[in-house]
């Protein structure tokens, strides 16, 4: 009997060990766990198993790897919807800033399947892309560029800018599509959606001369037919004139409203931004999936060859001043008009920084706007995909690439913004809206909850800050205070060091053999939207007039 009791006791102890002594792949101990969806905010332990948050508990747990998170926040990884950091150096900067998912939903890409295939098992953070309206217009309006294969921001903003002006005209930006060309564009967009593109990625302002209101509407309509949202760099973005920027947003808002479609207003940091936010809030109150984004800087960055840097636009229409506003990081200097014109002609893809004094006043307000998400507009380094091992000082570009999230945390700390609100702007609201758009992979991200994907950032809420500046040699400095970044359960940043761990997973819709494209024509439009007419004799008979045809 005694032996039997001893045996039963041993079994009970063994089972208890199985239940309470589960070994996790990774445990994060003693951190302040914060979840913007449930408002959880408590000192707890986190256990990760097979890339999933398996437990969040006050109980003791053990794992193969352990992170001591004492004095640190444990939060959902930061999600960036405006991400051109598509090479090694720029991407490791973003990872050090807490990014676990980076998606280019503004410039986007063409040949979507091939784009995703090129990233498989080669990317440290989760990746996604929209179908590029700009790239598709290049295919149709600039055949002399002989574009082949997949293309995205580093080539669309770089060598393709030059190739498409070889004949003296950037057709993608300035040519108005005729009916045949518009159908070609819509068919190419349709193919991108069928291949799983996240959204219609529209750099509308860059194409304002050639992209008609009809083509924009038809493009948004096609996206809506696929259940996809539109993200737009709006038609008058960058204008210093109030209310032009708002009018550009109104075009998209009106289209999205009548189409019952999703809408993301990219970098809503112009005059009229507050009125745009009010309209987006009103749309959300009606159940529409509308939101916006900002980055915490008073300067923008884009290719010097962009049409709106020409004097008649930049100076006459936008009120710009080259020597005051246009900074060239490559030379570490502001440019004269003559220097601008020379570089724009010889190197149109060179990235320059454009300052906007008004944004200094607005920035503290953006930190407090619900559903105004943080998105860096991170810029590639131009050093190539395999530039992982280059020193930070090699980066030439906008400091937002490596400092956006840390700066939001610092500014929020200094200005009394609740940390939970800042986390919602950086993690939860991007995931919420993308999930509402039907992306299943985003319904399980942006949250610190059991059963969610283990995309996690661990940071010091009192010490996190950006160190990148506009000064040459400092533009790529990594953020401090973010020692651990976890993507799909794997440490991509460990003890403040970036690791070449290819943990990233694709964020996309499933591929489909369907098509939503229907060629537009005057006959088709009239058939749908106008009444049918009758012959003169039929009209006379209907009025009781004698029929003298017999």
Q: Which residue, of 323, 355, 387, is where some domain finishes? A: 355
pTM score = 0.90
> How would DSSP label each residue in 385-407?
TT-TTS-GGG--S-THHHHHHHH
Other CB atoms within 10 A of residue 445 CB: 26
Q: Is the dihedral of CA 260, 262, 267, 273 positive or negative?
A: positive
Per residue in 103-131, pLDDT (tens digit) is 999 999 999 999 999 999 999 999 999 99
Pairing of the two strands 372-374 and 290-294: parallel
Q: Which two tokens stand for residue 56?
A: 């969040």
Establish if 184 belongs to a structural domain. yes
CATH of the domain at 44: 2.30.40.10
Quote the pLDDT of residue 535: 73
Contact 302, 325 (CB under 8 A): no
The pLDDT profile of the chain, 550 residues, written as one tens digit per residue, is: 444 443 444 433 334 344 446 799 999 999 999 999 999 999 999 999 999 999 999 999 999 999 999 999 999 999 999 999 999 999 999 999 999 999 999 999 999 999 999 999 999 999 999 999 999 999 999 999 999 999 999 999 989 988 998 888 999 999 999 999 999 999 999 999 999 999 999 999 999 999 999 999 999 999 999 999 999 999 998 766 666 789 999 999 999 999 999 999 999 999 899 999 999 999 999 999 999 999 999 988 788 988 778 898 888 877 789 999 999 988 889 999 999 999 998 998 888 888 888 898 999 999 999 999 999 999 999 999 999 999 999 998 899 999 999 999 999 999 999 999 999 999 999 999 999 999 999 999 999 999 999 999 999 999 999 999 988 899 999 999 999 999 999 999 999 999 999 999 999 999 999 999 999 999 999 999 999 888 766 655 665 655 555 4
Rounded to 10 degrees, the C-alpha dihedral 316/322/326/332 comes to 170
Domain holding 160: CATH number? 3.20.20.140
- CA-to-CA distance for 534 and 108, rounded, in angstroms? 48
Q: From CA 503, how far away is CA 126, in angstroms rounded?
A: 8
Alpha-carbon span 292 to 508, nearest angstrom? 20
The answer to whether residues 428 and 313 belong to one domain is no
63 and 33, same structural domain? yes
Alpha helices of 175-321 — where are they, by DSSP H?
A: 179-194, 213-225, 244-259, 273-285, 311-314
Whether 541 is in a domain gets the answer no
Q: Would you say 98 and 406 are in contact if contact means Cβ atoms under 8 Å apart? A: yes
417 shares a domain with 268: yes
Query: Kind and range of the H or E element at 126?
Result: strand 126-132
Residue 74, beta-bridge partner list = 33, 458
Domain assignment of residue 544, yes or no:
no
- What residues does 56 pair with on adjacent strands? 46
Do 177 and 162 sit in the same domain of this protein?
yes
547 falls within a domain: no
* Residue 37 domain boundaries: 2-71
Given a contact cutoff of 8 angstroms between Cβ atoms, the answer to whether 156 and 86 are in contact is no
Whole-angstrom CA distances from 550 to 406, 535, 536, 543, 546 are 87, 16, 15, 18, 10
Per-residue model confidence (pLDDT) at position 331? 86
The answer to whether residue 539 sits within a structural domain is no
| Calpha distance 135→336 (Å, rounded) | 31
pLDDT at 254: 98
Structure tokens at 332: 């570490």
Q: Does residue 208 share a domain with residue 294?
A: yes
Backbone phi and psi for residue 273, each to the nearest 5 degrees, phi listed first: -60, -35
User: Is residue 90 within 8 Å of residue 395, measured between CB atoms?
Assistant: yes
Give the separation between CA 159 and CA 348, rounded to whole angstroms: 9
Q: Do 274 and 314 fall within a single domain? A: no
Domains in the chain, number: 3
Q: Are 495 and 483 in contact (CB under 8 A)?
A: yes
Last residue of a domain, one of 476, 498, 520: 498
User: CB atoms < 10 A from the CB of 511, how many?
Assistant: 12
**Is position 197 within any domain?**
yes
Q: Do residue 363 and residue 427 come from a single domain?
A: yes
Q: Are 314 and 418 contained in the same domain?
A: no
Residue 380 located in a structural domain: yes
Same domain for 275 and 143? yes
549 located within any domain: no
Out of 22, 51, 71, a domain closes at: 71
Q: Is residue 212 within 8 Å of residue 177, measured between CB atoms? A: yes
Three-point CA angle 545, 547, 550, nearest 5°: 170
Between CA 357 and CA 244 the distance in angstroms is: 17
Q: What does DSSP say about strands 126-132 and 99-109: parallel, antiparallel, or unpaired?
A: parallel
Alpha helices (H) in 318-446, listed in sequence order: 322-325, 337-346, 359-366, 400-415, 419-423, 429-436
- Based on DSSP, count helices (H) and strands (E) in the chain, helices before strands: 20, 23
Between helices 179-194 and 133-141, what is the axis angle to 10°? 140
Task: Report the Cα–Cα distance between both ends of the chain, in Å, rounded.
Answer: 118
Residues 66 and 103 in one domain: no
User: Do residue 427 and residue 291 come from a single domain?
Assistant: yes
| 3 three-class SS | helix
Instruction: For residues 306 and 215, state if they share a domain.
Output: no
């Amino acid at each position: 009997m005694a032996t039997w009791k001893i045996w039963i006791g041993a079994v009970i102890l063994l089972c208890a060990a199985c239940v309470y002594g589960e070994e996790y792949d990774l445990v994060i101990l003693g951190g302040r766990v914060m979840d913007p969806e449930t408002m959880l905010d408590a000192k707890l332990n986190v256990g990760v198993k097979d890339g999933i948050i398996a437990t969040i508990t006050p109980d003791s747990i053990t794992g193969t790897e352990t992170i001591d998170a004492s004095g640190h926040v444990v939060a959902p990884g930061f999600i960036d919807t405006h991400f051109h950091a598509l090479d090694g150096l720029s991407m490791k900067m973003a990872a050090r800033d807490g990014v676990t998912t980076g998606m280019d939903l503004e410039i986007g890409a063409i040949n979507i399947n091939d784009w995703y295939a090129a990233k498989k098992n080669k990317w440290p953070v989760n990746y996604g892309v929209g179908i590029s309206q700009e790239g598709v217009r290049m295919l149709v309006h600039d055949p002399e560029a002989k574009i082949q294969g997949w293309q995205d921001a580093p080539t669309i903003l770089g060598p393709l800018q030059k190739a498409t002006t070889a004949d003296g005209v950037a057709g993608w930006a300035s040519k108005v599509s005729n009916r045949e060309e518009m159908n070609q564009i819509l068919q190419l967009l349709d193919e991108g959606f069928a291949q799983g593109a996240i959204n219609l990625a529209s750099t509308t302002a860059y194409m304002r001369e050639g992209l008609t209101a009809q083509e924009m509407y038809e493009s948004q309509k096609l996206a809506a037919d696929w259940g996809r949202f539109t993200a737009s760099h709006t038609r008058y973005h960058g204008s210093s004139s109030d209310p032009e920027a708002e009018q550009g947003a109104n075009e998209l808002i009106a289209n999205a409203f009548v189409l019952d479609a999703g809408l993301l207003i990219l970098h809503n940091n112009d005059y009229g931004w507050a009125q745009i936010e009010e309209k987006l809030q009103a749309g959300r109150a009606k159940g529409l999936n509308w939101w916006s984004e900002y980055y915490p800087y008073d300067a923008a960055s884009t290719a010097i060859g962009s049409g709106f840097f020409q004097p008649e636009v930049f100076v006459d229409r936008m009120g710009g001043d080259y020597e005051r506003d246009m900074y060239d990081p490559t030379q570490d200097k502001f440019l004269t008009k003559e220097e601008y014109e020379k570089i724009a002609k010889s190197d149109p893809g060179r990235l320059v920084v454009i300052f906007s004094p008004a944004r200094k006043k607005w920035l503290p307000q953006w930190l407090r706007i619900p559903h105004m998400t943080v998105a860096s507009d991170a810029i590639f380094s131009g050093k190539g995909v395999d530039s992982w091992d280059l020193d930070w000082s090699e980066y030439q570009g906008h400091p937002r690439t490596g400092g956006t999230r840390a700066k939001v945390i610092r500014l929020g700390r200094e200005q009394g913004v609740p940390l939970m609100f800042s986390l919602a702007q950086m993690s939860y609201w991007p995931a919420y809206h993308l999930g509402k758009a039907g992306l299943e992979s985003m319904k399980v991200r942006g949250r610190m909850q059991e059963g969610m994907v283990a995309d996690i950032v661990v940071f010091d809420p009192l010490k996190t800050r950006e160190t990148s500046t506009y000064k040459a040699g400092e533009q790529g400095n990594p953020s401090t205070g973010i020692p651990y970044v976890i993507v799909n359960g794997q440490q991509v940043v460990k003890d403040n060091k970036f690791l070449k761990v290819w943990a990233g997973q694709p964020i996309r819709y499933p591929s489909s053999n369907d098509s939503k494209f229907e060629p537009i024509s005057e006959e088709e439009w009239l058939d749908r939207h106008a009444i049918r007419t009758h012959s003169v004799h039929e009209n006379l008979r209907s009025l009781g007039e004698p029929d003298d045809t017999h």
